[in-house]
Structure 1
């Protein structure tokens, strides 16, 4: 019989159509993923994917196996939920998924409090794009996710954690840095940098550019907040950055000034989500409370 891990690799390849991206999603090396898929095919006695230098194509029979694999992975996760993996004392491993625009700036503040209260609880953290996190949660890849709202995936429980302001970051040698305040009208014709596709922040920047008449630099998209900041420092443009990142990193960088854009009050809402299963409700609700209380205490000067 196939192992659950092999089925997870197969589903990842089917979803991404690429061995490299599939390996990143399941956090293994590409050779390991490829070897396990070959082992799966040998065990089943049939070809599931067609390989070429440019892409990966799932065979017709492979598609049928993928759908069965999805159900098996969901059922395996339901077994974990029904048996109360966390237990009343909040122990064991919790698989937390969240975007790279949140995790590195939020977790260092939350984890010490979490470990002090629940010393037997271990977090396995996986970063992913906001638009893929809810599906990963529904399919059992994560136990709980922290991500920007709104989330349209059905079958999930939601807890709002905090409202995070968005600030305009401007290099000191940019003409806007000389202003005492910046309104949306001041952004007309200005070059705005954004993250790549899949990031909610990208959508917010694109919407702002359309409203203000600014220029989106699609030819220079950032892969992370840090790379976005370094590109701005070279004069490529300005951008919107989230409050936790601004407080943790940008305000300590003497190359930048940050502004609120007039009276607009640009924000994003961050929430925690988990599947609606009876055994997990109380534990994840307590986890959400801890995140919410820690953020209110640690970032009270950085939130709305």
Structure 2
């Protein structure tokens, strides 16, 4: 009989694409994980993965089974949560996914408020690429997600919370900074720095650059908002930073300046999400309300 552990192993390897990293994530040795995978493939009489130079890749059979495997994992998590709910046991720890372009600059205050209101509640916070975390949420590997919209996934409840302004920054000695009034045309042909293309941030920047007649400097993708700020300060190009980051201690305008055309009103919409079937859905809604209140306060 196929076990839940084997299904979990299948999903983790599919998501991570590397046996060693999947074993670490599951708290297993690589030989033990390999043995469980081989046992699963024997029981199914299917090859689920093939080895490629960069790791493990799903076979056509594996791709067809992945969605059902995610559903099994999510349903198992919802079952155990429902049992805790019926037995009046608190959620205890919420596995909370958040974008690294938002979490560090919003969550500290939120954590403080939540701890005061719910002393027994713990948040296990995991930063990551939003699209990857949406898949983890649907699969039951996360309980709740805070991310820029859009958030997509079958069976998810998505709760819009607030909008955050996006600000254009430039080096202090850039000609844009000295102009008395900027126009959209002043940005034509300029180069913007960006983050990894898998971030919502990158896709939104593509639309903004198209509207401004600017381009993205593809060879210099930043690894963090700090990296973008520092590269702009060195004169490498322009960038867009979220308002909460600029307001934070890590951000600020020490090495950059705001440079925006008249009428600039770009923003990103932030939402929380959780599985609609989750037993602790009411608690997740309360957490989302706290985040929304703090987000609106900081605007």
Query: Given the two structures, how large is their TM-score scaled by the length of structure 1?
Result: 0.84
Q: How many Å separate the matches in 2 of 1:87 and 1:281?
A: 16
1:41 paired residue number: 37
Are positions 1:149 and 2:149 aligned together?
A: yes
Contact (CA 8 Å) 1:86, 1:93: kept in 2 or not?
Answer: no
Shift of 1:221: 1.2
Give per-residue Cα distances to partners, 1:120-175, cap 9 Å, x unaligned: 11111112212233222111111111111222323222222211000001111222
Contact (CA 8 Å) 2:92, 2:122: kept in 1 or not?
Answer: yes
Matches within 5 A, 1:259-298: 259-277=259-277, 279-297=279-297
Contact (CA 8 Å) 2:137, 2:144: kept in 1 or not?
Answer: yes
Q: How many Å separate the matches in 1 of 2:8 and 2:263?
A: 47
1:230 paired residue number: 230
Give per-residue Cα distances to partners, 1:26-51, cap 9 Å, x unaligned: 69369957444313135447464333
Quickly say closer, same or farther: Cα 1:27–1:221, change in 2 above 3 A: farther
In the alignment of these two chains, the number of paired residues is: 295
Shift of 1:94: 0.5
Quickly say closer, same or farther: Cα 1:251–1:70, change in 2 above 3 A: closer
Matches within 5 A, 1:20-59: 23=21, 28=24, 34-44=30-40, 46=42, 48-59=48-59
Greater displacement, 67-76 / 186-195: 67-76
Contact (CA 8 Å) 2:97, 2:144: kept in 1 or not?
Answer: yes
Greater displacement, 236-245 / 122-131: 122-131
Contact (CA 8 Å) 1:250, 1:256: kept in 2 or not?
Answer: no
Task: Please provide the CA RMSD for this pair.
Answer: 3.0
Give per-residue Cα distances to partners, 1:256-297, cap 9 Å, x unaligned: 112444213100110111111263232111111111223334
Shift of 1:90: 5.2
2:18 paired residue number: 19
Quickly say closer, same or farther: Cα 1:119–1:204, change in 2 above 3 A: same
Q: How many Å separate the matches in 2 of 1:52 and 1:131?
A: 23
1:135 paired residue number: 135
Instruction: State the secondary structure of the residue aligned to 2:122.
Output: strand
Contact (CA 8 Å) 2:230, 2:255: kept in 1 or not?
Answer: no
Quickly say closer, same or farther: Cα 1:243–1:3, change in 2 above 3 A: farther
Greater displacement, 51-60 / 158-167: 51-60
Instruction: State the secondary structure of the residue aligned to 1:57.
Output: strand
Shift of 1:180: 4.4
Query: Given the two structures, how large is their TM-score scaled by the length of structure 2?
Result: 0.85
Q: How many Å separate the matches in 1 of 2:87 and 2:183?
A: 51
1:191 paired residue number: 191
Instruction: State the secondary structure of the residue aligned to 1:28.
Output: helix
Q: Structure 1: any 5+ residue segments left out of the alignment?
A: none
Give per-residue Cα distances to partners, 1:64-114, cap 9 Å, x unaligned: 765553343122122133224598785411011111111111111110111
Greater displacement, 99-108 / 229-238: 229-238
